[in-house]
């Protein structure tokens, strides 16, 4: 499969702001690509793999209760997630959306990552899933670092440069990205820490599992 042309992240962000063009982000081993409708099949396979999903929020407990019900709801969740990502990229023209994570050497998809809205105005939230087969190879670290330390800063800086006003999320300048990981998901917590995120809280979900909350702060408008 031929590699698509890859622009530097500032050029890609500016082109999105001006023309709504899909965004591609390159790391050492990965290519992150704006989620498209034809990625649905991969998302459905990913979301219905109980081994890959076992440590993500409540999937483990729901699967134990009823594998068939879990799979049906996961299929629905995958479809809704893809539809939301595509709408944000193509209709709403907002950059808080999802990326397909692909290996650079052959562009095979191995997961996804999102820089979406958080629970508070001005807050973004990132989350990622990588297939079990491709875990423990540093891909999560590269993807999260690219979003937290490269993509969001590029969004903030270039928005201000182009429009002379801060980038907003829910009518407030973007000032933070957060992420959560179950306390038994040690690998994910290490990924957050390697991206420079700091643990600020712990909270339980409805299934009694405790999650660590990680944060990274931004200057917006950016320091000149």
- pLDDT tens-digit profile of 157-174? 999 999 999 999 999 999
pLDDT band at 224; cut points 50, 70, 90: low
Neighbours of 88 (CB within 10 A): 20
Q: Calculate mean pLDDT across residues 211-215.
A: 95
What is the DSSP annotation of 111-125? EEEEEEE-SSTTEEE
**Paired tokens of 124:** 């973004």
* Domain 9-217, CATH: 3.40.630.30
Query: Across the strands, what pairs with 177?
Result: 124, 216
pLDDT digits (tens, 9 = 90+) for 90-139: 999 999 999 999 999 999 999 999 999 999 999 999 999 999 999 999 99
Q: Taking Cα atoms as reference points, which of 201, 200, 180, 202 lies closest to residue 191?
A: 180
184-193 long-range contacts (CB < 8 A, ≥24 apart) are 184/55, 184/209, 185/55, 185/56, 187/135, 187/136, 187/140, 188/55, 188/140, 189/214, 190/141, 191/128, 191/140, 191/141, 191/144, 192/144
What integer pLDDT is reported at residue 2 of this predicted model? 40
Q: Is the pLDDT of residue 65 over 50?
A: yes
Neighbours of 164 (CB within 10 A): 8
User: Against a cut of 0.75, is the pTM above it?
Assistant: yes
pLDDT digits (tens, 9 = 90+) for 125-155: 999 999 999 999 999 999 999 999 999 999 9
CA distances (Å), origin 38, targets 34, 86, 161: 11, 10, 33
Residues above pLDDT 70, as percent of the chain: 96
pLDDT band at 62; cut points 50, 70, 90: confident
């Amino acid at each position: 499969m031929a590699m698509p042309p890859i622009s530097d992240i500032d050029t890609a962000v500016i082109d999105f702001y001006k023309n709504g063009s899909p965004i591609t982000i390159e790391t050492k081993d990965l290519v992150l690509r704006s989620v498209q409708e034809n990625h649905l099949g991969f998302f459905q396979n990913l979301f219905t793999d109980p081994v890959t999903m076992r440590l993500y929020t409540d999937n483990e407990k729901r699967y134990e209760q009823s594998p068939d019900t879990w799979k049906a709801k996961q299929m629905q969740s995958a479809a809704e997630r893809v539809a939301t990502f595509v709408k944000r990229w193509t209709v709403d023209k907002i950059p808080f959306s999802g990326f397909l994570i692909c290996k650079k050497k052959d562009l095979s998809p191995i997961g996804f990552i999102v820089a979406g809205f958080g629970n508070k105005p001005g807050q973004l939230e990132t989350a990622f899933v990588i297939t079990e087969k491709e875990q423990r190879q540093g891909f999560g670290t590269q993807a999260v670092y690219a979003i937290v330390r490269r993509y969001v800063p590029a969004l903030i800086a270039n928005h201000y440069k182009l429009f002379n006003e801060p980038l907003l999320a829910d009518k407030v300048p973007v000032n933070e990205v957060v992420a959560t990981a179950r306390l038994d998901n040690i690998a994910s917590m290490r990924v957050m820490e390697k991206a420079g995120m700091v643990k600020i809280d712990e909270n339980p979900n409805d299934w009694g599992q405790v999650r660590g909350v990680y944060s990274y702060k931004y200057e917006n408008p950016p320091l000149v």
